[in-house]
Amino acid sequence: MTITGPPGWQSDHMLATTLRASQRVLVLTGAGVSAESGIATFRDALTGLWANFDPARLATVEAFEHDPALVWGWYEWRRMQVLAAQPNAAHRAIADLAASGREVTLVTQNVDDLHERAGSIGVVHLHGSLQQPRCHACGAGHQLPEQAPREPDGGRRLAPPCCENCGGKVRPGVVWFGEALPSAALETAFAAAADCDLLLSVGTSGVVYPAAQVPEIALRAGAAVLHINPQPQLLGGGREWALAGTAAEVLPALVAQLRAKY
């Protein structure tokens, strides 16, 4: 495991001291965490019907309004894949962190429920959730069936359900390209960043805004920031480290260190 830290310091010793002293921890997770459970990212090659479409072009209001059956079918296929997946060691380690006696806030850019299924509670979803669709017309929430969708491997068009409130088309409960992030979730993330003394940025490139502001806010507020990614990048802050490795490899050992104090 390669550690990169502030220049001129013994990074491993300083990092260990910082970890032990932390009391308010903010964890920010990205697609890299879910990818280790087999969840496809937008960069992965697709098969079947979906091989003919750019996923980014399906994740827009315009796409849904033009062809709601195509977009709903794509997201139900994605939801089936998510429900068939299982939380990995990184998800479990983050859930275990709450048992360390520290105040832990978990903010994720992922739209799956793997954090919740691993045992984390109060997860802040910056980009919405596949499990919380809503009406495209009136915004009312829609209850999905308890059983997982059974979509063919190749995918299919699937007419979205109708809203029980107004009869409008139900849309996936995720944030699409061109849409604003939910204000309450973003405000919670920013407030936690300004108040934490340690931020763990896990499985995220840190280049997509406004989520990329979260570690920037933490650094400006004087918190230590630790990036965990196969190819982590530093932002240039004074109390900032990078651990090169996958989340499932790095987090269990890191959380064990955090819990050792208690």
Count of CA atoms in the C-beta half-sphere (13 A) of 76:
25
Interatomic CA distance for residues 221 and 214, integer angstroms: 11
Q: Is 102 annotated as a binding residue?
A: no
- 166 among the known binding-site residues? yes
Q: Tell me if 155 is assigned to a ligand binding site.
A: no
Check the annotation: does 204 bind a ligand.
yes
Return d(Cα 117, Cα 201) in angstroms, integer: 20
Does 112 belong to an annotated binding site? yes
Per the annotation, does 203 bind a ligand? yes
Q: Where are the beta strands (DSSP E) in the chain?
A: 2-4, 24-29, 103-108, 124-125, 134-135, 170-171, 198-202, 224-229, 240-244
The rounded distance, in Å, linking the Cα atoms of 116 and 78 is: 18
Under DSSP, is residue 150 helix (H, G, I), strand (E, B) or coil?
A: coil
Task: Provide the annotated active-site residues.
Answer: 127
Q: Is 10 annotated as a binding residue?
A: no
| 205 labelled binding-site residue | yes
Report the binding-site residues: 75, 78, 109-112, 135, 138, 163, 166, 203-205, 229-231, 247
Per the annotation, binding residues for NAD(+) are 109-112, 203-205, 229-231, 247
Binding residues for substrate: 75, 78
